Amino acid sequence: MEHVSEKRFPLNAKDYKLYEEVGEGVSATVYRALCVPLNEIIAIKVLDLEKCNNDLDGIRREVQTMTLIDHPNVLQAHCSFTAGHSLWVVMPYMAGGSCLHIMKSGHSEGFEEPVIATLLREVLKALVYLHAHGHIHRDVKAGNILIDSNGSVKLADFGVSACMFDTGDRQRSRNTFVGTPCWMAPEVMQQLHGYDFKADIWSFGITALELAHGHAPFSKYPPMKVLLMTLQNAPPGLDYERDKRFSKSFKELVATCLVKDPKKRPSSEKLLKHSFFKHARSNDYLAKTILDGLAPLGDRFRTLKAKEADLLVQNKALYGDKEQLSQELPSMSRLDRFLVSADWEDHISYIAQNMLSRIISDHCPLGLDSGGLCRGKSHFKFENMWLKAESFVDK
């Protein structure tokens, strides 16, 4: 399993020196590292193949995509190789880190509009490139927008990206359930008729709100409830009263992206022409505005990791285990207790994949409208889904 970019990076772990951690996920850790033969600082993503849900062929395709990418706003992989039970992916080092970590470190209420416009313009350039080459990113969010020390912006993490050109059919729709619930498009959740590039436009709109507020809509809720709220509620947006600091053009941009019918969303190419991006500035502006004064990425990551660990300890002290939590919430339904106490793995494997799409398919073959009613079957209200879900959980 070897893919090499034009620059010849070595394919042996012995040629790299790992420094501090700068990121981590369920099955991967990212390190700042040194490529010894080239004397170049890079990032290495080490994936534990035993923890990866994907098969090896799927992982190989994802990494191949990363090595073939050639755009200044998309993070490319220099090369990849296996080392024991791990896959090492060598990538450029983005010293500023992700927009998510930058917000957590010093912009908890979100960024100012010129910063947001600049970031979103660069992300949109990346999406135009990816979509033109048949790729859906499927996980656009602040955590995957990386900034270098000079303010350059790259869209990263193709761990869930998909190529729609596998069979040569540009219009083929995907039918797999991947992504992060807060940023996930309704059609991805419903799994009724597949989805296409427009799913990224919804995620782009959610990311715009995340950059504006410091967090994504519904982020305080458990994953399964996010799925249900996204399907049932009206699309989130910028409030004309609460968000007075933002321009009308920004509010219109978000509203244009967050339309439940994917056919009514603009393409990435058309969106790039929106008047909002007249507010965008240079990369130097980003570096001076949001990177100046920040601690090195490794130090920030270590601090945030410690805070999250403390929060986890506090939550355990407050709630105890899942059984104790259920006992402390006697007024909640069995399903609601499950939604509060279950973790992300439980939601996706036990509920989301197996139950939600099955219920919607059985009772709402035409999907749900914005009011939570089944199209063509108005007597079946969305609330019925909770009853169905609760009986499913009991099983």
Where in the chain are the domains? 11-93, 94-161+180-294
Distance of alpha carbon 258 from the chain centroid: 16
Residue 112: both structure tokens together: 């100012």
Residue positions annotated with a catalytic role: 139
Kind and range of the H or E run holding 268: helix 268-271
pLDDT at residue 360, as a whole number:
53
Q: State the average pLDDT for the chain.
A: 79
Q: Which residues are annotated as a binding site?
A: 45
Q: For 97-124, what is each residue's pLDDT tens digit?
A: 999 999 999 899 999 999 999 999 999 9
% of the chain with per-residue pLDDT over 70 = 72
pLDDT at residue 339, as a whole number:
45
Which of 106-115, 223-232, 303-312, 346-355 is the least confident region?
A: 346-355
Cα–Cα distance between 55 and 1 in angstroms, integer? 13
Binned at pLDDT 50, 70 and 90, residue 270 comes out as very high
Q: For 22-64, what is each residue's pLDDT tens digit?
A: 998 777 899 999 999 999 999 999 988 887 665 667 777 778 8
**DSSP, residue by residue, 46-83:** EEETTT-SS-HHHHHHHHHHHHH---TTBPPP-EEEEE
Domains 11-93 and 94-161+180-294 share a fold: no
Type of residue found at 53:
N
Q: Please tell me whether residue 97 adopts helix, strand or coil conformation.
A: strand
Residues 243/251, Cβ–Cβ less than 8 Å: yes
pLDDT of 190 over the 50 cut: yes
pLDDT of 166 over the 90 cut: no
- DSSP-derived secondary structure letter, 349: I
pLDDT at residue 373, as a whole number:
46
Protein fold of 94-161+180-294 = Transferase(Phosphotransferase); domain 1 (1.10.510)
Average pLDDT over residues 326-353: 43
pLDDT at residue 38, as a whole number:
97
More confident residue, 170 or 142: 142
Q: Please tell me whether residue 377 adopts helix, strand or coil conformation.
A: strand
Cα–Cα distance between 383 and 388 in angstroms, integer? 9
Q: Please tell me whether residue 58 adopts helix, strand or coil conformation.
A: helix
Binned at pLDDT 50, 70 and 90, residue 241 comes out as confident
Binned at pLDDT 50, 70 and 90, residue 368 comes out as very low
Average pLDDT over residues 133-152: 93
- The matching CATH number, chosen from 2.60.40.420, 3.30.200.20, 3.40.640.10, 2.60.120.10, for 11-93 is 3.30.200.20
